Structure 1
Amino acid sequence: MSSTSLIFFGSQFCIYFGFIILKLGLIGNLSNLFVLFSTRTNPCSFLLWFASISNIITLLTGLLPRILSIGFSVDASSTSLTWCKSRWFLSYTSAFTSLTCICFASIDRYLVSCQYMQWHNRNKLKTAKLAILIATSVIMLTHIPFIVFYHIIQVNNSNDNVIYQCSGTNAAWTSYVNYFTRPMLGSIMPGTVLAVTGWRTYLNIKSRMLVHLGGTFQRGLTSMILLQSILIIIPVVPFSIIVIYQIATTSTNKTAYRLAQETMVFNIANILLYISYASNFYVYFFSAKSYRKELLRFVSHFVCCRSNRVEMRRM
């Protein structure tokens, strides 16, 4: 397979599979906003509800521009300085906020599954809101350099033609993003937190046989988080490996064919990474009976309200 074929395959994968993830993700996360709204007084439900908002922003500012850029060579960030700066800021902050919410929700499930009541007392809505407020503020503040250091610059493409692209102009910040933010904050750290808390929660549930988890709703939330954690970790692992590989081979001389291979693999892994931000609704639907009941209740209420409006118009 030639370099051109590899690039073509990667772009086609981004177009078709990326649009599937985008469409299903937007539908699913919007559904979550309505379904989880009525249960947002529960700390875990509130965290999942807030994560859905972040997921929508991530899909629109991260996945959609990537599909357009790789698949159709349409990159608004190369022509609009405002979008150049805001796109990277929004995509990174929303993605990390979503991962943080899921990590907090996983910790919440661990606390609920513990046998000691003093741990249960820390599981409060006020605590969850405060944690999200602090975490979101820190995430936004630490990513302000995207707004400061990202500009539209001139570069030469593979054909030695001058093109414009949105890129970081500060070497220290670029190194920080490539060597720490993406591999550590975006992959290894959340994956580790979810793996550890998920495993500990599973052990607690197994040892206590779900006796003290507070009914069907709490058990449903626990099932949702455990399965969601698995679906986040699965795409994170290959992406982390690829990022670490790129860091380790930065100084290696590579042929055009090898670069095409690495670009294709990275683009595919990057697209698959967005499954973490698009799959939550479907995970919740299939893993928790309580969520399906809430969804059915919302749909029934929506249909009834719409029927009443139609009847009122006829009168």
Structure 2
Amino acid sequence: MSSSSNSTVWLNYMNVQVNRYLPLPFLILGTIGVILNMIIFTRRGLFINSCTHYLLGNTVANFVILYWVVFTRILSDGYKIDPSTTSDTFCKVRYFFTYVPRTLSTWFILLACIDRWASSIKVQRRFNSVPFARIVIVIATIICSVSFSNVLVYFGIQKSSTSTTCYAQPGPYRIFSDLQYLIFYALGPALIMLAFGLATLRNLRRTRRQVLPTGVQPTKNTTRRDGQLLAMLLMQVALIIVFTGPFAGQKLYDTFTLNVKKSPLRTAQDNLSGAIVRILSYGSHAFGFFVYTLSARIFRKELLRTVNSVYRRIMGRNLNATIASTMLMTHMYTMEMMNIH
């Protein structure tokens, strides 16, 4: 067996192992994050804000991604359990519920960016209201679903002399499908988010330099909350750009080399690099909770309140009181030991 053949075999083996084990940390951490996000975003302190509803929509979409997109990918590419290669209907449904939730996840963050921008220029208040946000979420979901309805028609089982796969029909439609997914999910939202994020920061700097008339000054709590929500949002935008940027590059490469004849070694290399980049893109759906916790005090405060509420129901006392009591006892013991010596 030649060195090229050995390399191909090794790369194919590594591809299976990467698809089997690398997604697991994303799945575990993402599950913890999604559950805590849902609990915290539905607390009254945050739920009354329109921006939070877009973040909650993003969280629900991420839940679907983790337990549909990631899980089915582990089974198909890691363990070769893939009903989409035997059932044409399952193939169509699998990719429809891959493209729609992943796209909605980024669209909801984009809508949250637009919401913060609208708030920064003091547009009519109904554009920053919870009812308006809910209507926009429903409309965005319908538009996204209709946009990817072509998947239910033109995706299916594709057979060749060497393999059987589930994907778009070959030819012009496959190029269209890849570019649509690339623009709708990765490139388009990231660029628009960046533009609205920078515009919002610029508007806030201008507002700080202005003296508003008496009676229209925002309350201190509202200003602080809006500022921290913006910080959470910008960190999430950065997370999306970092994790989806390589995915966008890989998708462009796959699209424009679609008709290039490749050797088995190059195919194995492309499959492995594509798997790594695709799995890393799950980070934008799995790590939101940890970004929010690091970037916003208001989120940490609601998290602590949630933990304290659960602890109080189980133990019958406040966690804060328990911690204070433990610290006091530790301090008294330390002082006693110092007096002894």
Q: Same fold (TM over 0.5)?
A: yes
1:90 positional shift: 1.4
How far is 1:208 from its partner?
A: 4.7
Instruction: Report the equivalent of 2:201.
Output: 202
CA deviation map 1:210-254 (0-9, x unaligned): 996833322221110000000101122211112212222233222
**Ranges in structure 1 where 5+ consecutive residues have no aligned partner:** 158-162, 309-315
Of stretches 92-101 and 249-258 in structure 1, the one that deviates more from structure 2 is: 249-258
For the 8 Å contact 1:14–1:70, the answer to whether it is kept is: yes
* CA 83–302 in structure 1, closer or farther in 2 if over 3 Å, else same: farther
Measure the CA separation in 1 of the matches of 2:228 and 2:280: 26
Q: Paired residue for 1:311? A: none
Asked if 1:40 is matched to 2:47, the reply is: yes
Is the CA contact (8 Å cut-off) linking 2:126 and 2:132 kept in structure 1?
no
**TM value normalised by structure 2:** 0.80
CA distance change for structure 1 residues 273 and 31 in 2, over 3 Å: closer, same or farther?
A: same
Which amino acid letter does the alignment assign opposite residue 71 of structure 2? L
Structure 1 stretch displaced more, 118-127 or 11-20? 118-127
> Residue 12 of structure 1 aligns to a residue in which SS?
helix
Q: Distance in 1 between matches of 2:187 and 2:251?
A: 11
Counterpart pick for 1:149 among 148, 154, 160: 154
Residue 42 of structure 1 deviates from its aligned partner by 0.9
Contact map agreement 2:17 2:78 (CA 8 A) in 1: yes
Q: Which amino acid aligns with 2:91?
A: C
Identity of aligned residues (%): 28
AA aligned opposite 1:298: T
SS of the equivalent of 1:118 reads: coil
Tell me, yes or no, if structure 1 residue 191 matches structure 2 residue 216. Answer: no
CA offset digits 1:133-189 (Å, max 9, x no partner): 1110111122223333334454443xxxxx6543344755433212x2222111110
* Equivalent position to 2:278, from 270, 276, 280: 270
Instruction: Between 212-221 and 88-97, report the one with greater CA deviation.
Output: 212-221
1:169 to 1:240, Cα distance in 2 relative to 1, 3 A: closer
Match of 1:108 among 105, 115, 127: 115
Q: How far apart are residue 118 of structure 1 and its match?
A: 2.6
Give me the TM-score of the superposition, normalised by structure 1.
0.86
CA offsets, 1:35-91, max 9 Å, x none?
A: 101222211111111110110101212111112222222213234455323221112
Q: 1:282 aligns with which of 284, 290, 295?
A: 290
Instruction: Say which of 26, 34, 49 aligns to 2:56.
Output: 49
Aligned AA for 1:75? Answer: D
Q: What is the identity, as a one-letter code, of the residue corresponding to 1:198?
A: G
Contact 1:29-1:281 within 8 A present in 2 as well: yes
| Structure 1 residue 237 corresponds to structure 2 residue 245 | yes
Task: Pick the structure with greater CA Rg.
Answer: 2
The residue number in structure 1 matching 2:214 is: none
Shift of 1:104: 0.4
Q: Which deviates more, 73-82 or 247-256?
A: 73-82
Confirm or deny: 8 A CA contact 2:89 2:156 kept in the other structure: no
Residues in 2 aligned to 1:5 and 1:205: alpha-carbon distance in whole angstroms: 54
Residue 186 of structure 1 aligns with an amino acid whose one-letter code is: Y
Q: Which residue of the other structure, out of 7, 12, 15, is the alignment partner of 2:17?
A: 12
Q: Please say if residues 51 and 116 of structure 2, whose CA atoms lie closer than 8 Å, have aligned partners that are also in contact.
A: yes
Change (3 A) 1:82 1:40: farther
> For 1:94 and 1:273, how far apart are their aligned partners in 2?
14
> Structure 1 residue aligned with 2:234, among 226, 229, 248?
226
Answer yes or no: is 1:176 the counterpart of 2:181.
Answer: no
Q: Tell me what 2:36 maps to.
A: 31
- Secondary structure of the equivalent of 1:122? helix
